[in-house]
Structure 1
Amino acid sequence: MIWVQTALFAAFLAVASASGAVLEYTDGNFEDLIQTHDIALVKFYAPWCGHCKRIAPEYEKAAPKLASNDPPVALIKVDCTTEKTVCDKFGVKGFPTLKIFRNGVPAQDYDGPRDADGIVKFMRGQSGPSSKELKSVADFDKFTGGDENVVVGFFDGESKLKDSYLKVADTERDRFAFAHTSNKEVLKKAGYTDDVVVFVPKKLHNKFDSNEFKYDGNYDTDKIKNFLVHETVGLAGIRTQGNLFQFEHKPIVVVYYNVDYVKDPKGSNYWRNRVLKVAQNYKRKVQFAVSNKEEFSQEIEQNGLGERKDSDKPIVAVLTNEGKFPMDQEFSIDNLQQFVDEVLAGNAEPYMKSEPIPDEQGDVKVAVGKNFKELILDSDKDVLIEFYAPWCGHCKTLAPKYEELAEKLNKEDVIIAKMDATANDVPPLFEVRGFPTLFWLPKNSKSNPIPYNGGREVKDFVNFISKHSTDGLKGFTRDGKKKKSKNAEL
């Protein structure tokens, strides 16, 4: 009887898995059922966990796409507040913990994206060979008939391009879906022989872009990668959290609205076609993209569009190396084109998150978004600037030493400055990925900030500044030793 119940439950789960649902396993069935999947992603979670709540809807959205993958990838969840045996067995200590299982055995921790699109791409890259062989026209039609861009290599025999293509597939399988074929019927139908082609899903076809992007380079692997990353999204690609690596070039115009090609393909295309109409006028000059407002709600705030995020029409930000430019006008084809022209001509004002400019300044100068250019970039002095976060322990440890340094050098031709990088926009010139991050800016070369990676004691800073100051310091020699006063010499 127990065996029958287990079999019936397994059958039920198989149906659920085929339908694309996230499977929920327990202490009682995990060990048996995990072995039924060639590959699976398991999320160990706690219902009260905030990060778990955020990933839950993305996990649900990814499940049906991965269930229809070839081979299928199962998405499974385990509630560690009730299923303690399983969670203890696999060493779960924080939530959510995600692990990839192959044939019932934990293979590796999941370290990929946490959005639906990113989960799908990453897990597709983990399943099966890096490039699927298409052995028939039916295989080809199925592979290219999905809802995402796919890459196909067409090879009439062996070639250097094929060798390079398969190497690229091995390294980029987490980012793109690859296949290859030498089948004569497929080659004839597609019209390619020794080529690499990216096929666009039917739902994204439009009159402004090609439905296929053909690689025109040689067998250089870096050139193939560059083609896939930068030349296959079209005039206004669908920009998601999972493919941001394809939208790094600036200037870029990002149009935010309710992009959803599953629930509202007609509405998604309605606005995208208007963006495409403008984008065609800026080929190779400006990149355009459309993004879902909800998915990029935080970015919308950062780009100065928070007050307009509830608009029924799309909202727009142009991102350049000079800053972020939110469009204030209501969206229309004419307004979008006019705004892009204004930004490119330098006639638009960039948005900058900023604290108020301090009424008074001490030895350590406080830079904010609104005074950064005047205080730091336009000054006629060398500058050492620290980007910090108020909550950062290392920053708190540095603070008294930084104050001492500034007091010691307050008569010198150098500015010791700091900026709260959580309350102000960091200018694009600076790459700040952790705290504290410090840069040295020589007064005659402010456009080339030099990362400071030296020691963080006062004497370390003094030695560095003495050596690198443009005109030398009045009170210190180039090797950081304090100069003797004339009275002392007498």
Structure 2
Amino acid sequence: MRLPIIMLMLLCISKTGICSKADEFKVDGKVLELDESNFDSAISSFDYILVDFYAPWCGHCKRLSPQLDEAVPVLAALKEPIVIAKINADKFTRVASKYDVDAYPTLKLFMHGVSMEYYGPRKADLLVQYLKKFVAPDVTILSSDTAIRDFVEAAGTFFPIYIGFGLNETVISNLAVKYKKKAWFCVAKDFSDDAMVLYDFDKVPALVALHPSYKQQSIFYGPFEDEFLGDFIKQNLLPLVVPLNHETLKLLKDEERKIVLTITADENEDQSQNLIKLLKAAASANRDLVFGYVGVKQWEDFADKFGANEKTKLPKMIVWNGDEDYFSVIGIESLDSDDQGSEISRFLEGYREGRTERKRVKGPSFMGFINSLIGIRSVYIIVFIVAMMMLIQSIGKDDEPLRVGSRDEVVRNESSDAESSQYGPEKKED
């Protein structure tokens, strides 16, 4: 009889331990305040927890705080609750260092203890809509046209949406798990001819990929085997041609494909819009590459890294590896003829045949250089280095870049009015 008693005692101890761990945090619809003593415990206690790494003196942090306060009760009421917590990263530097926090505010989403960078919106209602993606079912089953419409509306515009018409959910379940953090997946079991017209497919089974924010969609009719289906899903995570800005550049952070980048004077001009249509056609036929564009007027600092500015002959096309190097095709410095479609084809042909010249991205990633050498608190050293850099530049001896930023560093180190208006990261140097 002793063995069952011992097992019962162990079970009671185990249950008591679990209860005391859960009771350690008071989840009452408010943001949890964490420190070094309870941070790890909080991360392991909740399946989903969004953590705000902030500094008390940070202006962006102060503007973000009420948005989080507003989102907390809504996220806590979800079927799969999401907890919001914050930690003074300027004070508790050990935790900040562990998670590579070097700007304020930094948001990280912990899913079952595993962290991921939060790149979503920071307004309360949009933040809630964005985070719902991570607690949604891997594949949602839809049984009517109304259910399809409601699903697409609720999904919003932050992620691509894959709708399987006449598909069994098991066909896409594995890939839905794999890309859960990047896209919505659903299967329509019952739908009308009107739905087929609306989503522009004429037979089933069909998988429709939607990009609501770009008003683009693609249709896949099979074969529904892992290799082909996986390629379609991966290639359609991005629109055919990506407008490069601070937000979309984050989407390219983990992209393995090289980026065919077209730089125009002003991406909103009619000529540029016509060129973008030609780029979409080229992108459809070259899915092993990512196609993007940027206007000098829209993002001058970024364009200048590739030697493009108001004095350059534009449009200019290059192939970027997402890091320090890019390639120009010899003999095609710009797309300045009347037949731009043919020039794009000749550019891609020249690139694939290796008729290229490798170049380095122009200019240093100065903040990345500073952060990598000395850390962000050394204000006096920063001032000294800035002064030295200005002196060196003034005597014409600083022709070589100190360090060239990757696509991730560009996102972190460039600033913009639009980013600030959305409560973007505020540098510690500020």
TM-score (ref. length: structure 2): 0.49
**Larger RCO: 1 or 2 (CA < 8 Å, sep 6+):** 2
TM-score (ref. length: structure 1): 0.44
Q: Which has a greater percent of helix?
A: 2
Structure whose alpha-carbon radius of gyration is higher: 1
